[in-house]
Structure 1
């Protein structure tokens, strides 16, 4: 007589739990900004990198995005942010990070200046 596996057996529960732990470790923060504190479920923060204290009149952004940590695209360089804001002299540099469930992550460089 062939015994059917029941979903409630101890062996099945052990395999299921170990599989979930392994998958969690493997896919944890698949898409990550890589800066600041990392939130496994959600992350949205702004981090100051450089500040001169001088007044600013212009602001420029440049961003890079990542999907599942498999595809990453964009230019989040300081030079690109400076160009986008038409800034001649940088007085402040900040990073904005966003991450949702490791599915989508975005890193933006924000330059301020005159």
Structure 2
């Protein structure tokens, strides 16, 4: 397999991952805000194991990174990923999702893990 076809394969894996609406929305949110799993659970109104699975898939390919704040793990966009330029141009085409965090704040659920 040539280097070019390997890069196409990697890009296809990334785009397939982002073909999932939840993961794509997560990436758009992470573009401007770091989040913990508990916030995504509240935003998407789904189970913690399901959200953790989505985050793990994004982390496994290097699209998101984690940092520890006390006992909590906070996720952010990995701007050092080789795919960041692709991700950045893709996210520019997607509507802002900041309203989801504003809704959380209004419910008193923003960073509910701290």
Which TM-score applies when normalising by structure 1?
Answer: 0.27
More strand by proportion, 1 or 2? 1
More helix by proportion, 1 or 2? 2
Which TM-score applies when normalising by structure 2?
Answer: 0.27
Name the larger-Rg structure.
1
